[in-house]
């Protein structure tokens, strides 16, 4: 019967350590799945609003025309059909407890340089544009109902 050497015991320990390390890495990889991530509430809500169908109220359309805000600029901030728009939800200006539907104020700067605030009502699966405001515009003479 041969007496195990000190090196054989070391190799056995390294194998166990290596097996445990690989198993641990695999388990951590499963738990911290790449598709899972941490999102801020603002980003999550903006992404949700962006994937919903976009509708414009009569008042919202009137305000957009009066303030020279295009649908493309609205879609750029909200991120319609994209993962995330350029805007951010301003919860201080939002009314998440509005009845019958909560309203969210999306603010941001478009590529054309306009600083906008878009008020959106979250109606089930529809993002309804209630109004659009150009924050750089001093005063306007919009006569919308």
pLDDT in tens, 20-58: 999 999 988 877 776 556 667 777 788 888 788 889 999
Residue 66's Cα: distance from chain center in Å?
A: 29
* Residues in contact with 32: Cβ distance below 8 Å, sequence separation at least 6, in sequence order: none
Residue 76 has pLDDT above 60, yes or no: yes
pLDDT at 32: 74
Residue 55 pairs in a beta bridge with 128
pLDDT value, residue 82: 58
């Amino acid at each position: 019967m041969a007496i195990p050497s000190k090196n054989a015991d070391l190799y056995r320990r390294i194998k166990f350590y290596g097996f445990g390390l690989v198993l641990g890495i695999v388990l951590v990889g499963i738990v911290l799945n790449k598709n899972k991530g941490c999102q801020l509430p603002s980003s999550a809500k903006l992404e949700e609003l962006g994937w919903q169908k976009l509708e414009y109220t009569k008042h919202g359309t009137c305000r957009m025309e009066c303030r020279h805000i295009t649908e493309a600029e609205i879609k750029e901030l909200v991120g319609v059909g994209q993962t995330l728009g350029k805007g951010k939800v301003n919860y201080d200006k939002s009314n998440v407890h509005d009845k019958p539907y909560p309203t969210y104020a999306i603010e941001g700067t478009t590529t054309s340089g306009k600083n906008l605030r878009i008020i959106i009502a979250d109606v089930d699966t529809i993002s309804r544009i209630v109004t659009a405001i150009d924050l750089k515009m001093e005063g306007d003479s919009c006569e919308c109902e």
